[in-house]
A and B are shown apart, each in its own frame.
Chain A
Amino acid sequence: MEFGFTEEQLMFRETVYKFAKNEIVDLCEQADLKSEFSFELWKKLGAMGLLGLPFPEELGGSGADVVTCCVAAEALGHAGVDQGHLLALGAHTYLGTDTLYKNGTDAQRKKYIPKLASGEWICCMGLTEPGSGSDAASMATTAVKKGNKWILNGSKTFITNAPICNVCIVFATVDKNLGNAGITAFIVENTFPGFSTGEPFHKMGVRASTTSEVFFDNCEVPEENLLGEVGKGFSYTHETLSWDRSALLAPFVGGLKYMMEEAAKYATERVQFGKPIKSFQAIQHKLADIKVTMEAAKLLVYQVAHDKDTNKPLNHRHLSTAKAFVGDMGLQAASEAIQVFGGYGYIHDYPIERMLRDAKLAQIGGGTSEIQRFIISRLLSFG
């Protein structure tokens, strides 16, 4: 057992952290305030190589392992980058592009991955539907083969990056009677006839990421854009599950570090009753609780990353524990951090206000905390 990072990972973390502090964080506040995705920020992430980390070098990536991808995501969160842009990154790289990479043909990879890894194109993944959230197998979007085309009909919702996407990895059923075994994946470009997206939702947090519905109205998809095999789509979503509980949670671990450090600094500067508020134990104890939550969250997230790097079969206990803990305890920690800032924590001038709104997403997106408990309790009842 070994919980340290390699020299290389530590250096990379430092590089990403400094890059984000110098070039990224200043763009975040306005983006959050206006609910605007920043293409300027995105291009910087792309130029730094952070949008294509896990892909091979010949496709424009850097061949990073999962732990290293998490190190980068954590460093960005730690620097104070808003969770909106980091969610956009996560959905683009780990949910969308990696699904294409893992299951695509050589031709599909060559056509799409370089553009996506550089950030020139933006990817999203379309799984959730209005009537099918945590219960993904009940999806209603259909795909019918007609000549050399697939015709898609239906709609998706809560799709991160949809309004700005060039490519959408869409899951649809070729036969509802088959249940999971009918679910099939397609690579759909935003210019394909019959593809459209709705107005971006007004969200509580992660506001710089764009989220909307996606509509398929006799959407025509050329047969070479079938991703993987017919009926195998559901198994492809499993791969995204372990990304979702590692590289997409890692920014929240970084966020916890940020909150801890900012709250510690503020508690030192802020004077009440003639002394810095850090000298009050009630404040000290909040800092301690945030630190413990951060350490625990980190261990759980990197455990999933290590499982994935060592090609272990999906461990649902690890996955769900990481998700539920980061979601529930991360929100609590964010609330404590705001409490240290008092009234100043409640106004937008301090980034800490955004952190609480952002943290709430981790309890919901990618499977609610309740679903995680449901999964864990089911494992117990069969165990």
Chain B
Amino acid sequence: MNYDYNEEQWMIAGNFKNFCQKELEPRAHQLDTASKEEVDVLIKENIKKLASIGYLGMLHEEKYGGSNNDLVSHVIASEQVAKACASSFLSAGASCGLFGMPLKLFGSEEQKQKYLPGIIKGDIIGAFGLTEPEAGSDAVSIKTTAVKKGDKWVLNGSKTFITNATICDVALIFAYNDKAAGPGGGVTCFIVDKGTKGFNVGKAFDKMGFRGSPTAEIFLEDCEVPESAVLGEVGKGFIQAMKTLEYGRIGMATVSLGIASACLDYANAYSKERKVFGKFLNRFQEISFKLADMVILIDTARLLIFQAAWAKETEQADAQILASCAKLFASESAVKISNMAVQIFGGYGYIKEFPVERLYRDAKLGDIGEGTSEIQRVLIARDVLSKFAS
């Protein structure tokens, strides 16, 4: 047992904190309030900035330009990214993680060579197309189909809630090539380049939060891709998606942690400058105990996330469930914490000039994205019941 950062991790924490506070945080408000067109430009710049300090390559191999860091180190860096600008974390993560990890884990050498260096440099942006209008947490119900025609695959269907859809150069598309074979053997993942005929993207959604990270639908209309677009093997798509989402859960937990941690910093600083009844806010236990509650939840969430990252890295048998525990706790904590932060700011917390207003809206995604809290509870309970009551 060892709870300590190693030397490199201390360095990563410090470097990312400085960089993100200097380069991302000052742009977070602008990104949140920008028009859809401006968002597409600004977020690409932020992804490029993150690439410049090696964030997008942290989990990738050196031969593609990555630095091959462990997952715990990645969490340490990600907390700082998310704390400075949650939208940037989400778009960068969708590109190097949701798109990049399946490439790393299941892609051919040729596919990796083609995409990973660009992803890691921030020159190209990836997206992950699994969710559909009627298939969210229940991913086996996707309806998109892939039919083999000569040496091509023809894709038809639509994807929704796709992060980066409007700015992506390439997307992974999951489709049934054999409905009868079911999800275990009948789903295949395709790498589809933007500009492929029949690959169309809708207008970015107007979201409550994460407004700096574009989300849209992707439509596939007789979209033809070559055999070389199949990621790994035909029929392995669903397993690939689930493996990827194990990282995604840790990512969503981490973005919640970053948001919560930003809320604490803003609220704590405000409580030391704002005076009421002749005293600073933090002299009232109603306020100072809220701040303490934030600390308790944040520090606990961070440990759960570290544990999940360690478990995934070292392939512990219960890695998946620990990721669900971390995601559930961190995201629900962030919702509570952002609410407390707005409350501490009072009226000022309700207006856009103050960052806690944005953080409150951003926090809510944690409860929903990468599997809702309800689904996490179902998964955790299933695990408990299978172990102790079979």
8 Å CB contacts to A: which residues of B312-364? Answer: 314, 316, 321-322, 325, 328-329
Q: Is B272 an interface residue (CB 8 A)?
A: yes
A interface, by DSSP: helix, strand, loop or mixed? helix
- Please state if B385 and A306 are interface contacts (CB–CB under 8 Å): no
Q: Quick one: closest B residue to A5, CB to CB?
A: B1
Asked if B282 is an interface residue, CB under 8 A from chain A, the answer is: yes
B373-390: which residues lie under 8 A (CB-CB) from chain A? 374, 376-385, 387-390
Rounded to whole angstroms, the CA-CA distance of A264 and B3 in the bound complex is: 31
Interface size on A, residues (CB 8 A): 45
Q: Which residues of B contact A281 (CB under 8 A)?
A: 374, 377-378
Residue B78 at the A interface, CB < 8 A? no
Q: How far is the CB of A281 from chain B (nearest CB, A)?
A: 7
Contacts known (A278-B389, A373-B293); A2 close to B2, Cβ less than 8 A = yes
Q: Is B282 in contact with A3, judged by CB distance below 8 angstroms?
A: no
Q: Is the CB of A377 within 8 A of B389?
A: no
Out of B282, B380, B385, which one reaches A278, CB within 8 Å? B385
B-facing residues in A347-383 (Cβ within 8 Å): 370, 372-374, 376-377, 380-381, 383
Tell me if A295 and B296 are in contact (CB < 8 A).
no
- Compute how far the CA of A260 lies from the CA of B386 in the bound complex, rounded to whole angstroms: 12
A287 proximal to B (CB < 8 A) = yes
A62 within 8 A of B: no
B372 located at the interface, meaning its Cβ lies under 8 Å from any Cβ of chain A in the complex:
no
* Binary flags per residue of A286-317, CB closer than 8 Å to B gives 1, else 0: 01110110011001101101110010000001
Q: A268-B389, A288-B377 are in contact. Are A380 and B2 (CB under 8 A)?
A: no
Residues of B contacting A377 in the complex (Cβ-Cβ under 8 angstroms): 282, 285, 288-289, 291-292
Cβ A1 vs Cβ B2 within 8 A: yes
Is there an interface contact between B328 and A288, defined as CB atoms closer than 8 Å?
A: yes
Residue A284 at the B interface, CB < 8 A?
Answer: yes
Question: A123 on the interface (CB 8 Å rule)?
Answer: no
Rounded to whole angstroms, the CA-CA distance of A299 and B288 in the bound complex is: 25
Inter-chain contacts of B322 with A (CB < 8 A)? 295
B contacts with A, residue count (CB < 8 A): 50
B384 and A291 contact, CB distance less than 8 A: yes
Does the CB pair A1–B5 fall under 8 Å?
A: yes
Please state if B384 and A296 are interface contacts (CB–CB under 8 Å).
no
Chain B residues contacting A303 (CB-CB under 8 Å) are: 3, 303
A261 in contact (CB, < 8 A): yes
Chain A residues numbered 263-282 whose CB sits less than 8 Å from any CB in chain B: 264-265, 267-268, 278, 281
> Contact: A284 with B385, CB < 8 Å?
yes
Type the 1/0 row for A57-69, where 1 means its CB is closer than 8 Å to any CB of B. 0000000000100
CB-based contact B389/A267 at 8 Å: yes
- Judging by beta carbons under 8 Å apart, are A291 and B325 in contact? yes
| A81 CB within 8 Å of chain B | no
Contact among B3, B6, B300, B388 for A321, CB-based, below 8 A: B300
Is B310 on the interface with A (CB-CB < 8 A)? yes
Q: Is the Cβ of B288 less than 8 Å from the Cβ of A1?
A: no
A299 touches B377 (CB 8 A): no
- Mask, A306-350, CB within 8 Å of B = 1, is 110010000001100100110000000000000000000000000
Complex Cα distance A97/B306, Å? 35
Q: Check A285 for interface membership: any CB of B closer than 8 A.
A: yes
CB distance from A219 to the nearest CB of B (A): 39
Question: CA–CA, A102 to B24, complex, Å?
Answer: 50
The answer to whether A291 and B380 touch across the interface, beta carbons within 8 angstroms, is yes
A198 to B115, CA, bound (A): 77
Interface pair A288/B288, CB less than 8 Å apart: no
- Please measure, in the bound complex, the distance between the C-alpha atom of A30 and the C-alpha atom of B228, giving whole angstroms: 71
A303 smallest CB distance to B (angstroms):
5
Question: What are 6 pairs between A and B in contact, CB < 8 Å?
Answer: A1-B306, A285-B374, A321-B300, A376-B295, A377-B285, A377-B292
The 8 closest A-B pairs by CB, nearest first: A284-B381, A377-B288, A373-B292, A288-B380, A268-B389, A288-B377, A376-B292, A299-B303
Known: A303-B303, A374-B288. 14 other contacts (CB 8 A): A3-B311, A264-B387, A278-B381, A281-B377, A295-B325, A300-B299, A302-B1, A302-B3, A306-B1, A370-B289, A373-B288, A376-B296, A380-B282, A380-B292
Interface positions of A (Cβ within 8 A of B): 1-5, 67, 260-261, 264-265, 267-268, 278, 281, 284-285, 287-289, 291-292, 295-296, 299-300, 302-303, 305-307, 310, 317-318, 321, 324-325, 370, 372-374, 376-377, 380-381, 383
